[in-house]
Chains A and B, each alone.
Chain A
Amino acid sequence: MQFTRKHLLGLEELTADEIRMILDTSVPFKEISERQIKKVPVLRGKTIINLFFEPSTRTRTSFEFAEKRLSADTINVGISQSSVVKGETLVDTARNLEAMRIDMVVIRHSASGAPAFLSRRIDSNVINAGDGWHEHPTQGLLDMLTIRDHFGRLEGLKVVIVGDILHSRVARSNIWGLKKMGAEVGVCGPPTLVPRAIASLGVKIYPRIEDVLAEADVLNVLRIQLERMHSNMFPSLGEYNKLYGITTAKLEKAGRDVLILHPGPMNRGVEIDSDVADGGHQVILKQVTNGVAVRMAVLFLLSGGIPAGASEAARMSES
């Protein structure tokens, strides 16, 4: 079976088989990052542009490592360097870049739908690295890979996303991906930050974290942005921590083993306490490692690589 999609815009449009293919292809790529010489010639001669209209360190670095370990030529363009500050439109930026004969565009944008917009107007492969509140598909994939590594499966697991669901592209990609892979998905957060309509996607809404801790196998704890407090979504960070923060006390009270993910960067003492973040429940740094592997798999598959070829590609540089 071959991965036939041209773009990765979100997990909503992928099938379970396609998601499984990406996750399976990530496994051999993981091993490349463990080597002395962390490079395979899979994307040699391909040019990739990382177009980041929003500040990002983690995702951009992760994509860049993935691209370089596959031997692609990469260019990073950040908002402050781009012509956007001079008033160039998104479509003109894209067309100009494409005139330089680029094979792939990795785009992060503050507007939901910006990658989809781009994909309809240029010939290159487009990879969504996060658009507005819409989707962050590679984050969803790396979260799923991390959970699967831990449990050996996704089906039947109860995964609850905690925090600001309304404004979260990570939440949406997790919901679509996990549902397709047969997990039960719930969300938990202040009702001001949880769109009620999300229940009709078959997602359970938990108003209280205590109920979540009594049931969930996995918590995906989202970053709380300070600006949400200023827009009256909740009264204070302290109260947020009291009601929804993941603390040792709450975990001990639940008395169950719960796996904890966090897409980062963390606000210690707000959505997650330091002793939890650094303790035994979490796999946060494994997520970061898996992020590179998942992105290698996505780049490889979108460039026409066959899933079975991933392990061959991984073997290639061993000689």
Chain B
Amino acid sequence: MERLLIRGGRLLDPKNKVDGQFDLLIENGKVAQVGRNLPDGGGGARILEAKGKTVVPGLIDMHVHLREPGRPDEETVESGCRAAVAGGFTALGVMPNTDPVTDNQAAIGYIIREAIRAGNSRVYPVGAITKGIKGESLAEMGAMLDAGAVAFTDDGHCVASAEVMRKALTYSLIFGVPMIQHCEDPTLVGDGVMNEGLMSARLGLAGIPAESEEIIVYRDCALARLTGARLHIAHISGRRSVEVVRRFKEEGVKVTAEATPHHFTLTEEEVEGYNTNAKMAPPLRSRADLEALRQGLADGTIDCIASDHAPHHYDEKETAFADAPNGVIGLETSFPVSYTELVLGGVLDLNTLITRMSVTPAAILKLPGGSLGQGDQADVTVLDLDTDWEIDKSKFNSKSRNTPFHGRKVRGRAVATIVGGRQVWKL
């Protein structure tokens, strides 16, 4: 029998309303016991000293691009899972805009096998809503769910047709899994490469109005109401989009939303100097939008934090702004940036942050995890919340370096990550 005793730390388990000095005994990959001064069972258990540390349910990032198959030079399942556990994440939802697209049963199976082989964080594939992410005909959701998919999205692209989105939502009622929408009306995005406003006018870059998001958020919330299906809004970025989600939630529509650390920490000002590591879709917006995201995370309008980890090769970002691909990486910066900005910044408390980074993503995707009650899967993250450090992209486990947070001073990070009772990361 394999046993691990995490002792001497502060155990924070929001779902079970636990916050205090408790030890955690893990047996055979499950939580066996939570209590004060637990004995190590006659020396049979491995001991993880967590004195001065905070022990939380394993963090879950439901929006990650692992680039495999297709671009193993940017990220593989193996390197992405290593980056995940280094960032404190025990489970990932991975996006289907791979090459070829993850829109069938075999492709889902491939990712799951690669993840098992990598043996770090858990990987839950999200399948494509439409074949080839073309926004036209529905992909085989049932077959993909059988193979292990947990939700569906055409992320990177918006399902632009209202008719197709309605059918996808309606069809999803068979399974009860969420349809995740990348909300950007492609006709309004046009050739846009950054938020539309004074910065885009100054820099001579084509702008993307926040309304391109708001319109799709409203449309799809209305379709979720019409169909009764579950809708999840990926990487919400605009203040009016947040307002729309709040209104539909009040109406009882089954909509959830996520926000990224870059959208609630940075603004369009980061683009100054044509910084391609400030280019992503949707784009960084204004200070008022950033504040609305923080408010939404505090009051629960926004359910969870996801990084939208999007690795790109150095050469591809080393070009003129308009020519650079969208996306930044985030697995190894998500927790420290969120903790520093939101908890130390006075936006929400640690309990709420762990809820947004573990409990709610587990609930949205119906994953085991997000809870450290007796008998629960032993996915655990041990956090050091006292040490100040500086983000250094050269130290990343990810294969890519495209972060907007390089050189940023933060506090807090994962010092140990445990997946299924097995310690897979130690700082």
Contacts and interface: CB of A to CB of B under 8 A. Distances in A.
Contact of A200 (B196, B198, B204, B320): B198
B200 A195 contact: yes
A111 interface: yes
B321 A112 contact: yes
B106 interface: no
Interface string B312-335: 000100111111000000000000
Interface residues on A, range: 20 to 34
Contacts of A200: 198
Contact of A116 (B197, B207, B274): B274
Contacts of A198: 198, 201
A114 B320 CA distance: 5
Contacts of A169: 204
B201 A112 contact: no
Given A89-B315, A91-B318, A133-B205, A111 B198 contact: no
Given A116-B273, A133-B205, A197 B200 contact: yes
B204 A112 contact: yes
B204 A135 contact: yes
B222 interface: no
A90 B319 contact: yes
Given A131-B204, A197-B200, A198-B201, A112 B322 contact: yes
Given A89-B315, A116-B274, A197-B197, A111 B323 contact: yes
B203 interface: yes
B198 A112 contact: no
A18 interface: no
Contacts of B321: 111-113
B204 A132 contact: yes
A172 interface: yes
Contacts of A201: 198, 201-202
Contacts of B207: 195
Interface residues on B, range: 20 to 34
Contacts of A116: 273-274
A109 B205 contact: no
Contacts of A134: 203-205
Given A89-B315, A133-B205, A195-B207, A111 B322 contact: yes
Contacts of A151: none
B318 A89 contact: yes
A228 to B, nearest CB: 13
Interface in A104-118: 109, 111-114, 116-117
A24 interface: no
A111 B320 contact: yes
A189 B185 CA distance: 27
A109 B274 CA distance: 14
Which of A91, A109, A116, A117: most chain B Cβ within 10 A?
A117
B287 to A, nearest CB: 14
Contacts of B320: 90, 109, 111-114, 117
A91 B324 CA distance: 13
Interface in A176-197: 195, 197
B274 A172 contact: no
A12 B204 contact: no
A293 to B, nearest CB: 26
A195 B201 contact: yes
A113 to B, nearest CB: 3
A91 B196 CA distance: 28
Interface in A127-183: 131-135, 169, 172
A89 B276 CA distance: 15
A134 B205 CA distance: 7
A132 to B, nearest CB: 5
A157 B404 CA distance: 43
Nearest to B322: A111
A114 B204 CA distance: 11
A112 B205 contact: yes
Contacts of B206: 133
Contacts of B205: 112-113, 132-134
B274 A117 contact: yes
A132 B273 contact: no
Contacts of B318: 89, 91
Contacts of A172: 202, 204
B274 A112 contact: yes
Contacts of A91: 318-319
Nearest to B321: A113
Contacts of A135: 204
Interface in A59-115: 89-91, 109, 111-114
Nearest to B315: A89
A273 to B, nearest CB: 29
B342 to A, nearest CB: 29
A134 B207 CA distance: 13
8 tightest CB-CB pairs across the interface, nearest first?
A134-B204, A113-B274, A111-B320, A133-B204, A112-B204, A197-B198, A195-B201, A197-B201
8 contacts: A111-B321, A113-B273, A113-B322, A114-B320, A117-B319, A131-B204, A197-B198, A201-B202
